[in-house]
Amino acid sequence: MALADRPEADPRARLLLRRLLWPARTGTGGRGTARVPWIPIAIISMFVIMALFAPLLAPHSPIDQTLRDKLLPPAWMEGGSDKYLLGTDAFGRDVLSRLIYGARVSLIVALLALTAGGGVGLIVGIIAGYLGGTVDSVLMRLVDAAFTFPAILFALLLAVTVGQGLGTLVIAISLLLWASFARVIRGEVLTLRQRDFVALARVRGCSALRIMLTHILPNVLNTFMVLVTLNIGVVIIAEASLSFLGAGIPPPTPTWGMMISEGRGRLADAWWVALIPGIAITLLVLSVNLFGDWLRDRLDPRLRQL
């Protein structure tokens, strides 16, 4: 093939490739606006599709054991089989199928925990910021307390006393999130409260509830969306860590954290069982964070301190 036919040989194509792989951020070097992070978006979409259509995409059952086929290496390695693209674990379960179903758990937990924890944080932030006074100082004391005490410890405690499960996990991770949401939203509301349109609404006789719902809330939604995106990675890592520690969704439901935990004893003869799910976590969290950075720069650059 002639050299010019290869896309990487064309300087313009190479530049485009580099820009896609390495989206420059606004503000860091005085370069124009941030480029749309297509690669992270593609990776996120891939995981979402995996989670949504898991039963259609998974080549095998994620739970059924085929002991005859245990610890087979990935297809590209010696001894690997086309039947199991990413190999099998110690019980002969297909790693790829478990990975696909594991995406479900990660994304469902992220969705629920961000709705619950983020929602509570949003409400607390608006109330504390708008009402001020005693309500504000009491709520902010609670936020300070939540920051001091690591939520992971509380999650472990819940798993032992109440029992493992989706509900426990979501409550535990929501506790990890709400305080940071409340703090940022409150800061936004404090400045919004000084604005003329809020004063006007008050003069017109709007109730505090009405002002919070129709005048304050729509103005903090951008910030809220940015916070949600920036925290997806936090939730995914927290869920995986708790699963790894035996305090996540109980087996046989496949989760990435548990797959890593099950595989870590067999690094010498079957590294793929523990290492592949970790690559998935890193890839997804990295993509979500890069996407979140871009969204923040687009929607709410003042949050860049986060």
Partner 1 sequence: MKRYIARRLMQGVVLLCAVATIVFFLGRLTGNPVDLMLPEDATAEDRAHLVQTLGLDGTLFDQFAIFVYKALHGDLGTSIRMREPAVDAFFDRLPNTLALIPWAVLLGMILGIPLGVAAAVNRGSLLDRLAGTVAVLGIAIPSFWLGILLIFVFSVELGWLPSGRMGGPAHYVLPVITLGLFLVAGFMRITRSAMLEVMDSEFVKLARIKGLGEGVVIWKHCLRNALIPVLTLWGVFIGNLITGAIVTETVFAWPGIGRLTYEAVIYRDFPLLQAVIILKSILILSINLGVDILYAYVDPRIRLA
Cα–Cα distance for residue pair 27/35, rounded to 1 Å: 13
Would you say 130 and 154 are in contact if contact means Cβ atoms under 8 Å apart?
no
Cα–Cα distance for residue pair 256/122, rounded to 1 Å: 30
In the complex, the smallest distance separating the C-beta of residue 241 from partner 1, rounded to whole angstroms, is 6
Report DSSP letters for 1-38, one per residue.
Answer: --GGGSGGGSHHHHHHHHHHHSPPPTTTSS-SSPPP-H
Of the two residues 225 and 237, which places its CB atom closer to partner 1 in the complex? Answer: 237
Burial class (CB in 10 A: 0-12, 13-18, 19+), 105: buried
Q: What are residue 94's DSSP bridge partners?
A: 88
In the complex, the smallest distance separating the C-beta of residue 3 from partner 1, rounded to whole angstroms, is 27
Cα–Cα distance for residue pair 106/254, rounded to 1 Å: 10
Task: Note the residues at the interface with partner 1 (CB under 8 A).
Answer: 22, 25, 28-31, 141, 144-145, 147-150, 152-154, 156-163, 233, 237, 240-241, 244-247, 257, 260, 264, 267-268, 271, 274-275, 277-278, 281-282, 285-286, 289-290, 305
Residue with tokens 């520690």: 245
Residue with tokens 């005693």: 134
Q: What are residue 88's DSSP bridge partners?
A: 94
Would you say 111 and 51 are in contact if contact means Cβ atoms under 8 Å apart?
no
- CA torsion sign, 176 to 177 to 179 to 184? positive
In the complex, the smallest distance separating the C-beta of residue 149 from partner 1, rounded to whole angstroms, is 6
Of the two residues 120 and 306, which places its CB atom closer to partner 1 in the complex? Answer: 306
Closest CA to 128 of 120, 137, 119: 137
Would you say 56 and 251 are in contact if contact means Cβ atoms under 8 Å apart?
no
Of the two residues 91 and 271, which places its CB atom closer to partner 1 in the complex? Answer: 271
In the complex, the smallest distance separating the C-beta of residue 245 from partner 1, rounded to whole angstroms, is 6
Of the two residues 36 and 157, which places its CB atom closer to partner 1 in the complex? Answer: 157
In the complex, the smallest distance separating the C-beta of residue 147 from partner 1, rounded to whole angstroms, is 7
In the complex, the smallest distance separating the C-beta of residue 267 from partner 1, rounded to whole angstroms, is 5
Q: Where do the DSSP E strands lie in the chain? A: none
Of the two residues 4 and 268, which places its CB atom closer to partner 1 in the complex? Answer: 268
In the complex, the smallest distance separating the C-beta of residue 120 from partner 1, rounded to whole angstroms, is 17
In sequence order, the 6+-apart residues with CB closer than 8 A to the CB of 13 are 7
In the complex, the smallest distance separating the C-beta of residue 183 from partner 1, rounded to whole angstroms, is 12
